[in-house]
Amino acid sequence: MMVKSRRVSAQSSRGRVEGYPRGRARHVAESKVRQEISKASQSVPDLLEQRHISHRVPKMRAAAVSRKTKETEIEASVDLDGTGAAKIQTGIGFFDHMLEQLARHSLIDMAISARGDLHIDQHHTVEDTGIALGQAIRKALGDRAGITRYADALLPMDETLTRVAIDVSGRPFLVFKTSFPREKIGEFDTELVREFFQAFVMNAGMTVHVETLYGENAHHISESCFKGLARALRLAIEQDPRQKGAIPSTKGTLAG
């Protein structure tokens, strides 16, 4: 009986809530709430400061590198937080195909144009593209604050399985345990896969271990290395929200 009469009185007072202060008391209550809200929003940066949480606007992780020698002329630009869009032109069809896979599966946007001394062979062009791309990624990573740092990938491609493990440490090191049953894939020299990885790792400042556990087809073996690098890279350079912008090292630096 009590409940019913309350409901009637709330309706008859056109939406006014039972028990809510009126007149001067209402004015005081509401301005108190407004003050509390504004105090709370002002104190958020202070709270973050106290907890050593970065509240900077996240920097754009993108960079471009131009590299010109007597052997090659290379432009490479990257956006680490991209969608995997790629615009690649090296003059070597199979190598373009590999770099497109690297962009696509790392979700790094990449624009690479390379003009090299292909009349000699593909060596300089592949190696110098690795150098320029590695430098661009290193530059885009900056102080490496907030990244996941370690990651790995097991990458199957039909009969082939390749494992790639990565530490975005600032310390360059390559372990490459992959061999090819053929010297060429189309016009591409398979020994240059290792050359690319070596140049990339040295200039990106990363430790990368590549091992093809088994596989027969040279195209699959090469592609599994590039895609494995892509997948591991994607995870390792991703911003880890639990790092809260800290550099993931007890040394406090990943500068190498």
Residues in contact with Mn ion by the rule CB under 5 A: 223
Nearer to Mn ion by Cβ, of 72 and 90: the residue is 90
Taking the least distance from each CB to Mn ion, the nearer of 138 and 227 is 227
Yes or no: say if 221 and 160 are a contact pair by the CB < 8 Å rule: yes
- Please answer whether residues 138 and 172 qualify as being in contact, where contact means their C-beta atoms are separated by less than 8 angstroms: no
Hey, what are 103's tokens?
């962009």
Q: Which is nearer to Mn ion, 157 or 236 (CB)?
A: 157
Tokens of 151: 């990651």
* Smaller CB separation from Mn ion, 107 or 221: 221
Backbone angles phi, psi at 49, to 5 degrees: -60, -45
Q: Which residues contact 120 (CB under 8 A, 6 or more apart)?
A: none
Q: How far is the CB of 201 from Mn ion (least distance, A)?
A: 22
The nearest distance, CB 249 to Mn ion, in angstroms, is: 37
Report, in Å, the least distance between residue 209 CB and Mn ion.
Answer: 23
Identity (one letter) of the amino acid at 105? H
Q: How far is the CB of 199 from Mn ion (least distance, A)?
A: 22
Helix, strand and coil content of the chain, in percent to the nearest 5, comes to: 45, 25, 35
* Residue nearer to Mn ion on the CB measure, 167 or 223: 223
Phi, psi dihedral angles at 212 (to 5 degrees): -90, 115
97 Cβ partners below 8 Å, 6+ apart?
223
Closest approach of Cβ 92 to Mn ion, in Å?
Answer: 14
Of 63 and 185, the one with the shorter C-beta distance to Mn ion is: 185
**Residue with smaller CB distance to Mn ion, 189 or 223:** 223
Phi, psi dihedral angles at 188 (to 5 degrees): -85, 135
Scan for tokens 């740092």, then name that residue. Answer: 149
**8 Å CB contact between 248 and 151:** no
The rounded distance, in Å, linking the Cα atoms of 162 and 10 is: 70
CB 220, min distance to Mn ion, A:
8
Residue with CB nearest Mn ion?
223
Q: How far is the CB of 97 from Mn ion (least distance, A)?
A: 6
Calpha distance 122→187 (Å, rounded):
9
